[in-house]
Amino acid sequence: MASYAGPSSVEWVESGGGPLIAIPEVVLPFWTGADGDEFASDYDRACEVEGLVGLLPVGNTTALVLGDDPAATAYLPEHGTFVRWCAGESERELLAGVPAALAGAAWEREVRWEIPGPVVLFDAAWPGEESTKTGHLRIELAPGRYVVRAANAEPGPETWIGLVQIRPLGQ
Protein backbone atom coordinates (compact mmCIF):
# COMPACT_ATOMS: atom_id res chain seq x y z
CA MET A 1 0.00 0.00 0.00
CA ALA A 2 1.15 3.49 -0.67
CA SER A 3 1.98 5.89 2.12
CA TYR A 4 2.09 9.62 1.62
CA ALA A 5 4.20 12.03 3.69
CA GLY A 6 3.96 10.50 7.11
CA PRO A 7 1.63 8.04 8.76
CA SER A 8 -1.39 7.36 6.62
CA SER A 9 -4.88 7.44 8.05
CA VAL A 10 -6.19 5.17 5.28
CA GLU A 11 -4.77 2.41 3.09
CA TRP A 12 -4.14 3.24 -0.56
CA VAL A 13 -3.95 0.86 -3.52
CA GLU A 14 -1.94 1.81 -6.57
CA SER A 15 -1.84 0.53 -10.10
CA GLY A 16 1.13 -0.09 -12.34
CA GLY A 17 -0.60 2.10 -14.93
CA GLY A 18 -3.88 0.37 -15.78
CA PRO A 19 -7.26 0.20 -14.09
CA LEU A 20 -8.02 -1.00 -10.61
CA ILE A 21 -10.71 -3.63 -10.17
CA ALA A 22 -12.99 -4.63 -7.28
CA ILE A 23 -13.79 -8.34 -7.55
CA PRO A 24 -16.06 -10.35 -5.27
CA GLU A 25 -13.74 -12.41 -3.10
CA VAL A 26 -15.44 -15.70 -3.96
CA VAL A 27 -14.55 -15.41 -7.67
CA LEU A 28 -10.94 -14.20 -7.35
CA PRO A 29 -9.57 -17.49 -8.81
CA PHE A 30 -11.44 -16.78 -12.07
CA TRP A 31 -9.62 -13.48 -12.75
CA THR A 32 -6.45 -14.12 -14.80
CA GLY A 33 -5.24 -10.51 -14.99
CA ALA A 34 -2.69 -9.92 -17.75
CA ASP A 35 -1.93 -13.67 -17.91
CA GLY A 36 -3.80 -16.05 -20.14
CA ASP A 37 -3.63 -17.77 -23.49
CA GLU A 38 -6.65 -16.09 -24.98
CA PHE A 39 -6.58 -13.32 -27.58
CA ALA A 40 -7.71 -10.80 -24.98
CA SER A 41 -6.75 -11.21 -21.33
CA ASP A 42 -8.97 -10.18 -18.42
CA TYR A 43 -6.68 -7.18 -18.02
CA ASP A 44 -7.30 -6.24 -21.68
CA ARG A 45 -11.06 -6.44 -21.03
CA ALA A 46 -10.68 -4.12 -18.02
CA CYS A 47 -8.66 -1.63 -20.09
CA GLU A 48 -11.49 -1.48 -22.65
CA VAL A 49 -13.98 -0.16 -20.08
CA GLU A 50 -14.85 3.40 -21.02
CA GLY A 51 -15.59 6.06 -18.45
CA LEU A 52 -15.02 6.21 -14.73
CA VAL A 53 -16.60 2.83 -13.89
CA GLY A 54 -17.85 -0.28 -15.61
CA LEU A 55 -18.82 -3.87 -14.90
CA LEU A 56 -17.21 -7.03 -16.25
CA PRO A 57 -18.39 -10.63 -15.87
CA VAL A 58 -16.14 -12.77 -13.66
CA GLY A 59 -17.24 -16.31 -12.83
CA ASN A 60 -20.93 -16.19 -11.98
CA THR A 61 -20.92 -12.54 -10.90
CA THR A 62 -19.45 -9.20 -11.96
CA ALA A 63 -16.47 -7.06 -11.02
CA LEU A 64 -16.34 -3.27 -10.82
CA VAL A 65 -13.64 -1.62 -12.93
CA LEU A 66 -12.37 1.77 -11.79
CA GLY A 67 -11.39 3.22 -15.12
CA ASP A 68 -10.16 6.50 -16.54
CA ASP A 69 -7.16 7.26 -14.31
CA PRO A 70 -4.78 4.84 -12.55
CA ALA A 71 -4.86 7.04 -9.41
CA ALA A 72 -4.05 5.77 -5.93
CA THR A 73 -7.36 4.69 -4.41
CA ALA A 74 -8.66 4.26 -0.85
CA TYR A 75 -12.05 3.14 0.42
CA LEU A 76 -13.83 5.29 3.00
CA PRO A 77 -16.57 3.12 4.55
CA GLU A 78 -18.12 6.10 6.36
CA HIS A 79 -18.96 7.53 2.91
CA GLY A 80 -19.35 4.19 1.06
CA THR A 81 -16.90 5.65 -1.43
CA PHE A 82 -13.68 4.84 -3.22
CA VAL A 83 -11.59 8.01 -3.22
CA ARG A 84 -9.07 8.39 -6.05
CA TRP A 85 -6.12 10.71 -5.45
CA CYS A 86 -5.79 12.65 -8.71
CA ALA A 87 -4.02 15.73 -7.27
CA GLY A 88 -3.49 17.16 -3.83
CA GLU A 89 -0.65 18.41 -1.68
CA SER A 90 -1.27 16.07 1.22
CA GLU A 91 -3.41 13.15 2.25
CA ARG A 92 -4.88 15.23 5.06
CA GLU A 93 -5.93 17.97 2.61
CA LEU A 94 -7.33 15.45 0.13
CA LEU A 95 -9.38 13.57 2.73
CA ALA A 96 -10.64 16.84 4.26
CA GLY A 97 -12.08 17.72 0.84
CA VAL A 98 -14.12 14.53 0.48
CA PRO A 99 -17.38 15.79 2.09
CA ALA A 100 -17.41 18.89 -0.13
CA ALA A 101 -16.52 16.79 -3.17
CA LEU A 102 -19.40 14.40 -2.46
CA ALA A 103 -21.85 17.26 -1.94
CA GLY A 104 -20.89 19.09 -5.14
CA ALA A 105 -20.12 16.17 -7.46
CA ALA A 106 -21.59 16.04 -10.95
CA TRP A 107 -22.28 12.30 -11.01
CA GLU A 108 -22.10 10.30 -14.24
CA ARG A 109 -24.62 7.60 -15.09
CA GLU A 110 -25.21 4.98 -12.41
CA VAL A 111 -24.62 1.26 -12.79
CA ARG A 112 -26.27 -1.54 -10.82
CA TRP A 113 -23.90 -4.06 -9.22
CA GLU A 114 -24.99 -7.28 -7.56
CA ILE A 115 -22.39 -8.96 -5.37
CA PRO A 116 -22.27 -12.08 -3.20
CA GLY A 117 -20.27 -10.43 -0.39
CA PRO A 118 -16.86 -8.82 0.31
CA VAL A 119 -14.76 -7.56 -2.60
CA VAL A 120 -11.02 -7.13 -3.12
CA LEU A 121 -9.64 -4.03 -4.84
CA PHE A 122 -6.32 -4.43 -6.68
CA ASP A 123 -4.43 -3.73 -9.90
CA ALA A 124 -6.36 -5.43 -12.73
CA ALA A 125 -3.08 -6.72 -14.21
CA TRP A 126 -2.65 -9.20 -11.34
CA PRO A 127 -4.31 -12.63 -11.37
CA GLY A 128 -6.99 -12.82 -8.69
CA GLU A 129 -5.27 -15.63 -6.79
CA GLU A 130 -2.17 -13.44 -6.42
CA SER A 131 -4.00 -10.21 -5.61
CA THR A 132 -3.35 -10.48 -1.88
CA LYS A 133 0.42 -10.69 -2.51
CA THR A 134 0.44 -7.09 -3.76
CA GLY A 135 -1.23 -3.82 -2.79
CA HIS A 136 -4.89 -4.59 -2.24
CA LEU A 137 -7.88 -3.73 -0.07
CA ARG A 138 -10.55 -6.09 1.18
CA ILE A 139 -13.85 -4.25 1.47
CA GLU A 140 -16.62 -5.67 3.63
CA LEU A 141 -19.81 -5.33 1.64
CA ALA A 142 -22.94 -7.29 2.46
CA PRO A 143 -24.35 -9.53 -0.26
CA GLY A 144 -26.89 -7.65 -2.31
CA ARG A 145 -27.63 -5.16 -5.04
CA TYR A 146 -25.86 -1.82 -5.14
CA VAL A 147 -26.02 1.42 -7.10
CA VAL A 148 -22.59 2.68 -8.15
CA ARG A 149 -21.99 6.22 -9.32
CA ALA A 150 -18.80 8.07 -10.16
CA ALA A 151 -17.58 11.62 -10.55
CA ASN A 152 -14.48 13.75 -10.61
CA ALA A 153 -14.48 16.71 -8.23
CA GLU A 154 -12.29 19.66 -7.31
CA PRO A 155 -12.93 20.49 -3.65
CA GLY A 156 -10.01 22.95 -3.62
CA PRO A 157 -7.88 24.90 -6.08
CA GLU A 158 -5.09 22.29 -6.07
CA THR A 159 -7.12 19.23 -5.03
CA TRP A 160 -8.72 16.89 -7.56
CA ILE A 161 -10.51 13.75 -6.43
CA GLY A 162 -12.14 10.86 -8.24
CA LEU A 163 -15.19 9.46 -6.42
CA VAL A 164 -16.85 6.06 -6.84
CA GLN A 165 -19.76 5.77 -4.44
CA ILE A 166 -21.44 2.44 -3.66
CA ARG A 167 -24.88 2.46 -2.08
CA PRO A 168 -27.26 -0.41 -1.35
CA LEU A 169 -30.12 -0.31 -3.87
CA GLY A 170 -33.06 1.54 -2.40
CA GLN A 171 -31.07 3.96 -0.23
Least confident of 20-29, 63-72, 74-83, 136-145: 63-72
Q: What is the pLDDT of residue 5?
A: 43
Q: What is the pLDDT of residue 36?
A: 66
- Distances, alpha carbon 132 to alpha carbons 137, 159, 160, in Å: 8, 30, 28
Residue 69 pLDDT class (50, 70, 90 cuts): confident
Q: What is the pLDDT of residue 60?
A: 95
DSSP conformational letter for 104: H
Dist. CA 66–CA 63, nearest whole Å:
10
Q: What is the pLDDT of residue 38?
A: 64
- Find all residues with CB under 8 Å of 164, minimum gap 6, and list them: 52, 53, 64, 66, 81, 82, 84, 148, 149, 150
Q: What is the pLDDT of residue 171?
A: 64
Dist. CA 151–CA 51, nearest whole Å:
10
Residue 37 pLDDT class (50, 70, 90 cuts): low
